[in-house]
Amino acid sequence: MNAIRASLVAQRARHLGPRMLSSSSTAPRRPDRTRASPQGNIGPSVLSAHQVFAPLAKNRPVFKISKPITVIREPQQFYRDLLHGIKHARRRICLSSLYIGSDETQLISALDRALEQNPALQLCVLLDCLRGTRTDATGMSSAALLSPLVARFGAERVQVAMYHTPALSGLSKQAWPQRYNEAFGLQHIKAYVFDDEVIVSGANLSRDYFTNRQDRYMRIPDRQFTDYFAGLIATISQFSFRVLADDRASRYRLQMAPSVADPTREPRAFIREANERMAEFLQRAELEHAVEAGAVSEHDTLAIPTVQMRQLGITQDEAHMAEFFDLVNTFARSHGCRSLMASAYFNFSDQYKRSVLDSASRWDLLVASPQANGFYTAKGISQFIPDMYSIIEHEFVRAASARARGDISIEEYARAGWTFHGKGVWCYLNQKLPQLTMIGSPNYGYRSIYRDLEAQVTVILGSAQLQTDIHQEALGLLSHSKIVSQDELQQRARGSPLWLHGLKPFIMKKM
């Protein structure tokens, strides 16, 4: 038994071994990274992760997490945890998502029961207005699904907010149909608050995310940290449309607070007001949750939340990521480093691709295979989106090969009957277990930086158990992945329609 277990552990550990970009269509062998000497390694570093990443904690709110953090591995468990949180919440439930699936009646019923059984319970829901009002074949939408809760329990107890991008206003809003109008910008933050704990994720609230769409999920039980996310959701809700019950056939109506400009009519005034509210929230959070360097030990787990809202003039996460890449590069030049970055789509922004190519760290990039891409079974032009990502992958592999970066590889998640929506970062410095992870809503693409509202959390791991859990999470994802070769990507690119290459700049900025 022990021999079998050791063999399985060794086999899975190879998934984090150094990869070589191969021109062969056969995936290269995976060397064991636990035995390999990282490029530029001059021996173990005497610096702790807290020292290496200390600059990330400056000018940002920082939370010491004393209670154990739970890493949720499967979507079914994520759904069970959501239902458990709803059932046992006594004071507040705050749900921030892109949308709620129009057929999620069980989830709505659970919220209804919780509100009925706990008169003191408050519910706030933040969704995107464009996605949340998009109707399905039956005419149902997220807004229509939630409006009965507003009607039954009142707008004081049930607050449903719909954020609307200021980039779609006036005649443009009238011209662009549902679904396609979502390219202009979305509320993309995923955080689920139940009293004093929050689940930070990249998953939305719909059936596939509860069954066979793989994402990441982390449950963090900390009052102050949870207050931050509840406050973030409340602040965005202040400059969002409210869903109010309506007796007409539409079942709901949207209303903006009288003190806030309508983003569809006065986008400039809206941006100014939203920026002021967000800047005030972030400044207050930074002042209230600053951590002195001397007050932190290497055994402390630190959570650093960052947000990105470039359309509103907020670029906190963009600056945070640039600093992270710089810190990793500096450390890797002296001590060696290996890092894993995941996204649902191979559509990393130009700055992030440059940062990876210029970095002294080894990098593995984990993305969905064409079959595990959510657009694989789509109709119309959307069915070609997986092909577009293969074209972009091929261009990146060629760029890495031209730089002789054999320590950069692309992994594709391929699990029969599943799609992949995971995103985040695992940083190993020069150790066998990760010392840092990032988790949240950004896909690290153009949209994440320039169009959508995003939030992620950087966790500096002080607990050996948490390091092990995060490492096992990475291995679990990689166990369903395979290295994709340059030849394979070239074949895919050649098999794509020529007109698709011409649409690449547009799709890269819209998807």
Catalytic residues: 188, 190, 195
Give 314's DSSP letter: B
Q: What is the CA radius of gyration of the chain?
A: 23
Q: Which whole-number Å values give the CA distances from 504 to 23, 239, 385, 463, 500, in the listed order?
A: 24, 34, 10, 43, 6
User: Helix-strand-coil percent breakdown of the chain, rounded to 5?
Assistant: 45, 20, 35
236 closest CA partner among 135, 121, 438, 94: 94
Q: How many CB atoms lie within 10 A of CB 168?
A: 21
The first and second tokens of residue 42, run together, are: 């001059």
Find the DSSP H helices in 89-155.
105-117, 129-132, 142-153
Q: Which residues contact 279 (CB under 8 A, 6 or more apart)?
A: 314
123 - beta bridge partners? Answer: 93, 158
For residue 481, report the phi and psi dihedrals to the nearest 5 degrees: -120, 165
The first and second tokens of residue 60, run together, are: 């940002």
User: Which residue's entry shows tokens 């570093």?
Assistant: 45
483 closest CA partner among 86, 30, 93, 6: 30
Q: Cβ distance 239 to 260 under 8 Å?
A: yes
The first and second tokens of residue 459, run together, are: 């966790």
In 246-343, the DSSP E strands lie at 252-255, 301-308, 338-342
What's the one-letter identity of residue 310? R
Segment (H or E) for 328: helix 316-335
Using CA of residue 336, residue 340, residue 345, residue 348, what is the dihedral sign? negative
What does the alpha-carbon distance between residue 187 and residue 98 come to, in Å, rounded to a whole number? 6
What does the alpha-carbon distance between residue 203 and residue 354 come to, in Å, rounded to a whole number? 27
**Would residue 32 be called left, alpha or beta, if left means φ above 0 and alpha means ψ between -120 and 50 degrees?**
beta
341 - beta bridge partners? Answer: 365, 425
Find the DSSP H helices in 21-74.
49-52
In 316-377, the DSSP E strands lie at 338-342, 362-368
For residue 169, report the phi and psi dihedrals to the nearest 5 degrees: -145, 170
